[in-house]
Structure 1
Amino acid sequence: MLDNKKKRFKYWIRQLHLWLGLISGLFVCFLGITGCILAFEREIENITQPYRFAKAEQRALMPPSSLKKIADKALPEKHAHSVGYQTGKAAQVVYFAESPSYYWIVFLNPYTGEVLKVKNMEDDFFRIVIMGHYYLWLPPHIGQPILATATLMFLCLLISGLMLWWPKNKAASKKRFSIKWNAKWKRVNYDLHNVLGFYMTWILIFIAVTGLVMGFQWFAKSVYWVSSGGAEMKQFEESYSDTTLINSSIGKKPAIDILWAKTLNGLPGFKGGIEVHVPENAKSAIEVAINPDTETYWKANYLYYDQYTLKEMEVQHSYGKLANASIADKIMRMNYDIHIGAIAGLPGKIMAFLASLVAASLPITGFIIWRGKKKK
């Protein structure tokens, strides 16, 4: 009786695994392939795009307002979003807006102001791949739910696949950990699906879960609730300057230059990245992002200042000072770095690449197994 129940349970798990795989297979394969392409995005860009670099010189860096003024001449009809500095890299003046939609970056030598490259990021190869990976090149409100739902199915496939993989006894377990390369092609395909699937499941679960955090708001809130012990996730809120002080004088220097200089003076010998956000309008606060580790994002400190008084403004959401972040806030901050493997450095990116490669292959090897059984 107990054996019958086990067989029935495994039968339904197998059916669930089959139909979820058939429904989501193409999307999972697509996400895996694009994930492989994006795994070493930064490394490939550094090799193929020399304009991203600027040799360090024994002179002062140009302030953000000066770099913005030069960049504005190249893009006169657009509003600068931020000015970024990074040790050994070109300064970047970013122009980004949602309506009308545009995304440009002007790369400049931070010591001389020489324009190294004016780039429309909508034509950038990796940007195009990212838009496919996130939205399937559809409007975000359509593409994101489709791919997030496929990712949720994939997470269920990983769990159900692990249950189907689990050996009945010690004798059976010997066949579950290695690929029998000298066997017939069908057996090799079966082993590729099962063995590689087993080894990479432990990495793919993290990739799938972090993908779902980005894809579904309800999933992100659930992860935050569990990791915080029942607290509600605080949504990001814009910080605003006191517009009643719009005529207040803060001196002759632009506010972004004062805050940039203040940040640099407070970080002697700093080797990371600093990004100063240009106020979008009269109400906007000035954001200064300080990242000590430019290989990841989660360690960054985000400081907000009133653009008229230059007083620092406290925020309640996750993206303020790292020192004020709770464990749940830090998990949310780490989400993207975990998703791409950067949280573990280059070895982590290699693991993410291999896991994405296996993820792309699983729908193919699984489909071949199913077709083989159907023909039989």
Structure 2
Amino acid sequence: MAVNKKNKTFKYWVGRLHLWLGLIAGLFVCFLGITGCILAFEKEIEFYTQPYRKLETQNKPLLSPTTLKQIADKALPNKHAHSVTYQPGKSAQVVYYNFEPEYYYIVFVNQYTGAVINVKNMNEDFFRIVIMGHYYLWLPPEIGQPILTSATLIFVLLLISGLILWWPKNKAASKQRFSVKWNAKWRRVNYDFHNVFGFYITWIIIFIALTGMVMGFQWFAKSVYYVSSAGKPLTEFTETFSDTTSNSNLKLNPSAADKIWNDYLKADPNFKGSIDVHVPENEKASIEIAKNPDPDTYWKSDYRYYDQHTLKEIEVKHVFGKIKNATVADKIYRMNYDIHVGSIAGIAGKIIAFFASLIAASMPITGVLIWIGRNRKKSKAQKP
């Protein structure tokens, strides 16, 4: 039976919008949900399935960043090291990352003996491949990222319209909105699953979706920062150079990174977090050291920059600077990735993000089944 014009209420049009948006973005939402589930416990799976990442803490002095870089350079000649990472209980990681020519390697080194444990091409890594799909759909970033982020924006609209459709008309109807009638026929179970679980995950998945948009749309990231900072613009990250670059006689001073790193160790010998050292690649580059007290997240990292020639600290104005100088807006921006993957709330947060992503991936499927069922019901009703 056709819908009477008088019955075309606000909810009717919201339902039509919900249907068409779901048909447009459903496959992408399903894909993002499944890949999100795979990536939820990436760090934990890597640590327990890749033994070369583990290294028992020893009562020996650590080899310096420059020494580890020189050792790793022999394993990867003609490539430039990006950073050296130390963390108790794990092998040191010398990261090689470049855009042109494109490559991404990690050399795992014993920071006590200098032995090379493993050389890993990250472009062949399973999780890296999944990440490239989750971020870019395995397309060039300038093509894939807008597609998936636009699908995420549509998904946010689906969540809002779904909540409007879920909202009960009265108290009697509300009793059916919070539980699934598991002993009913499968079509009713499917309908309840879509509505009930869709409602429950909305309050979680909305944060995952919005943080995904922050990473995908610059205009959205700047807008979130503008609002959270009460009107201040986002100062984007820019490469920091040494203050003495005006001197044309400068030469590369790699040992400066060792001196600053050693001062860090002396200042806090019992530090249990991670220390990331960026050894300068040329005579103009500064030395960056990131000290993270909680390696399971990223937002607490304290980023410092130093002139490689004078060893003086260089003050920066972008969000990735000293954690003690970070404003509320800076911290929200820095928390974005940790919120996205659930690690902001520890292992419990990751579990919640995993199941929320799994249910989100099922929403397009259950939604299509509801749509097909209604069409069949209408066609039967129209038969003479």
Tell me, in whole angstroms, the C-alpha distance in 1 between the residues paired with 2:41 and 2:18. 31
Correspondences of 1:72-91 after superposition (within 5 Å): 72-91=73-92
Tell me, in whole angstroms, the C-alpha distance in 1 between the residues paired with 2:368 and 2:114. 56
1:135 paired residue number: 136
1:284: how far off? 1.3
1:248: how far off? 6.4
Matched, 1:121 2:114: no
**What does the per-residue CA deviation read over 1:213-262, in whole Å, with 9 as the maximum and x for residues that have no partner?**
001000001111111111111111111112244656999x8111111101
2:189 paired residue number: 188
**What does the per-residue CA deviation read over 1:15-50, in whole Å, with 9 as the maximum and x for residues that have no partner?**
110110000000000000000000000010011001
1:309: how far off? 1.1
Counterpart secondary structure, 1:243 = coil
Mean CA deviation greater in 311-320 or 6-15? 6-15
Correspondences of 1:35-114 after superposition (within 5 Å): 35-114=36-115
1:308: how far off? 1.2
Q: Are the counterparts in 2 of residues 245 and 308 from structure 1 also a CA contact under 8 Å?
A: no
Please tell me the residue identity of whatever aligns with 2:151: A
1:324 paired residue number: 325
1:280: how far off? 2.8
In structure 2, do the counterparts of structure 1 residues 249 and 15 end up closer, same or farther at CA, with 3 Å as the change threshold? closer
Tell me, in whole angstroms, the C-alpha distance in 2 between the residues paired with 1:248 and 1:22. 60
Q: Are the counterparts in 2 of residues 122 and 128 from structure 1 also a CA contact under 8 Å?
A: yes
1:281 paired residue number: 282
Please tell me the residue identity of whatever aligns with 1:57: Q
**What does the per-residue CA deviation read over 1:105-160, in whole Å, with 9 as the maximum and x for residues that have no partner?**
00011100111100000000000000000000000000000000000000000011
1:317: how far off? 0.6
In structure 2, do the counterparts of structure 1 residues 150 and 88 end up closer, same or farther at CA, with 3 Å as the change threshold? same
Matched, 1:234 2:232: no
2:221 paired residue number: 220
1:8 paired residue number: 9
Matched, 1:243 2:252: no
Correspondences of 1:246-261 after superposition (within 5 Å): 247=249, 254-261=255-262
Please tell me the residue identity of whatever aligns with 2:299: W
Counterpart secondary structure, 1:149 = helix
Tell me, in whole angstroms, the C-alpha distance in 1 between the residues paired with 2:7 and 2:327. 43
Structure 1: tracts of 5 or more residues without a match: none
Please tell me the residue identity of whatever aligns with 1:243: T
Q: CA RMSD for the aligned pairs? A: 1.5
1:149 paired residue number: 150
2:19 paired residue number: 18
Please tell me the residue identity of whatever aligns with 1:308: H
**What does the per-residue CA deviation read over 1:48-90, in whole Å, with 9 as the maximum and x for residues that have no partner?**
0010011111110000111111100100110010011001110
1:266: how far off? 1.7
Tell me, in whole angstroms, the C-alpha distance in 2 between the residues paired with 1:284 and 1:272. 25
Correspondences of 1:225-374 after superposition (within 5 Å): 225-241=226-242, 242-245=244-247, 247=249, 254-374=255-375
Tell me, in whole angstroms, the C-alpha distance in 1 between the residues paired with 2:158 and 2:174. 21
1:165 paired residue number: 166
Tell me, in whole angstroms, the C-alpha distance in 1 between the residues paired with 2:266 and 2:248. 27
**What does the per-residue CA deviation read over 1:258-304, in whole Å, with 9 as the maximum and x for residues that have no partner?**
11101111223100000110223222111001001011000000000
Please tell me the residue identity of whatever aligns with 1:337: D
**What does the per-residue CA deviation read over 1:344-363, in whole Å, with 9 as the maximum and x for residues that have no partner?**
00000000000000110000
1:338: how far off? 0.2
Please tell me the residue identity of whatever aligns with 2:91: A
Tell me, in whole angstroms, the C-alpha distance in 1 between the residues paired with 2:75 and 2:252. 29
Q: Are the counterparts in 1 of residues 81 and 94 from structure 2 also a CA contact under 8 Å?
A: yes
> Structure 1-normalised TM-score?
0.96
In structure 2, do the counterparts of structure 1 residues 5 and 243 end up closer, same or farther at CA, with 3 Å as the change threshold? farther
In structure 2, do the counterparts of structure 1 residues 40 and 6 end up closer, same or farther at CA, with 3 Å as the change threshold? farther
Tell me, in whole angstroms, the C-alpha distance in 2 between the residues paired with 1:71 and 1:196. 50
Please tell me the residue identity of whatever aligns with 2:101: P
Q: Are the counterparts in 2 of residues 32 and 357 from structure 1 also a CA contact under 8 Å?
A: yes
Q: Are the counterparts in 1 of residues 252 and 283 from structure 2 also a CA contact under 8 Å?
A: no
Tell me, in whole angstroms, the C-alpha distance in 2 between the residues paired with 1:204 and 1:5. 35
Please tell me the residue identity of whatever aligns with 1:84: T
2:381 paired residue number: none
Tell me, in whole angstroms, the C-alpha distance in 1 between the residues paired with 2:89 and 2:6. 64
Please tell me the residue identity of whatever aligns with 1:65: T
Tell me, in whole angstroms, the C-alpha distance in 2 between the residues paired with 1:278 and 1:207. 34
Q: Show structure 1 runs of 4+ deviating over 4 A.
A: 4-7, 245-251
Q: Are the counterparts in 2 of residues 246 and 308 from structure 1 also a CA contact under 8 Å?
A: no
